[in-house]
Structure 1
């Protein structure tokens, strides 16, 4: 009986220890963030998938900037874009728009879609081009040279109209596949969850969390920081 009791106690302690480790790891991954002393400006990126947003509450939760999805491909516009744009501006946040790049249409067509929906009044952060490898897409990624050509067409058309450089949002897999050896001379927005980014030097934005919690938004939110060497005011374009 004593041997059995000892065995049960050991099993119990092992189970408790495993549960504590799992809980501790979950808390770490849900709450980890870069040191605020090094990265003073925190921001978010949103789309209609985030639902209705209380922007005054967002602005009061240590959020300094926001990127809002405007368009995707050659003909999709985010139904919440203008509402989010107006609300974020009214709350005093630095605001930028992004376009989700599609392999199903040309860069020129996508640039026209983006420019048609982008507000042109007031200062804003440089527009961003969201570049991702999406599994199950109806239009898989073509050859690297073709991808770069269409990205270049989008960038050139938008920058010519706005007279400002774009930011390229590029997770590690996309960056290494298409941008690393292409001599890209554009600010990079990196994605590196729960660890410092390493794959793209001289990045300007860092998405460090995909399941953050922000006051005024229900559900998970992407969290970002501005590179420590930069100031938000330096990025704003008129």
Structure 2
């Protein structure tokens, strides 16, 4: 009888030890889930410190829906880059409305073109200059360089991409009277190294952490590509200027 009691006690001790381990594992899993949720929430609501980056703003387009620019101004947006045109013929359907609303809210305004290496530079430049008014008060124009030529229906060499891009820049700069800012994504920079070849200010993109892939100082930085605010819960592209 004594032996059976001893065996039962040992079995009960092992069971208690196993329960303790399960409880510890459960607590660790819950802690990890909580930390992940907090990290996600923090990233969605994070903007760089105003004391370091005094001038901050947004990139805005039709995909962002209807946005109150006075509300954007109230939460700290000093400027807005408005999506204007893309490729050879596409135009942002809300460009005029967003452009005028941003100005009415007292924000500095610039316009952006999404470059398409598959389309002729001259046609793309014509699309931009017929969409964006010539106005000395505008911020320097910006061109987004993200699309690679790999998907073009007709092969476009890297050298051709670079020469056509220069043609586009020259024509847009003639229209605006200001040098274009290159909004370069990591894949485009990795492929064409335009940050090293073209003497233009850079606009780089990286959530939360300051980007360095341009190899030289940037002028603009998209620091949060999906900022959640009371203005737009779906996420805004939050941009800061170099101090």
TM-score range, shorter chain: 0.7 to 0.9
Report the equivalent of 2:241: 226
Unaligned runs of 5+ in 2: 1-14
Report the equivalent of 2:4: none
Report the equivalent of 2:36: 22
Whether 1:100 and 2:110 are equivalent positions in the alignment is no
Cα pair 1:133 1:141 within 8 Å, conserved: no
Cα pair 2:79 2:107 within 8 Å, conserved: yes
Distance 1:141 1:19, change over 3 A: farther
Task: List aligned pairs for 1:95-174, cutoff 5 A.
Answer: 95-121=109-135, 123-133=137-147, 137=151, 139=153, 142-174=156-188
Distance 2:96 2:82 in 1: 9
Whether 1:207 and 2:222 are equivalent positions in the alignment is yes
Deviations 1:47-79 (A, max 9, x none): 100011111111111100111111111111111
TM-score by length of 2: 0.86
Q: Compare 21-30 and 63-72 and name the one that shifted more.
A: 21-30
Distance 1:174 1:140, change over 3 A: farther
Offset at residue 38 of structure 1 (A): 1.2
Distance 1:56 1:135, change over 3 A: farther
Distance 1:203 1:128 in 2: 13
Q: Which has the higher helix share?
A: 2
Deviations 1:96-125 (A, max 9, x none): 000001122111110001000102346110
Report the equivalent of 2:77: 63
Larger Rg: 2
Distance 1:146 1:213, change over 3 A: same
Task: List aligned pairs for 1:168-207, cutoff 5 A.
Answer: 168-180=182-194, 183-200=197-214, 201-207=216-222
Distance 2:166 2:186 in 1: 19
Cα pair 2:117 2:148 within 8 Å, conserved: no
TM-score by length of 1: 0.88
Offset at residue 139 of structure 1 (A): 4.9
Asked which structure has the greater RCO (Cα within 8 Å, sep 6+), the reply is 1
Aligned residues: 228
Cα pair 1:55 1:87 within 8 Å, conserved: yes
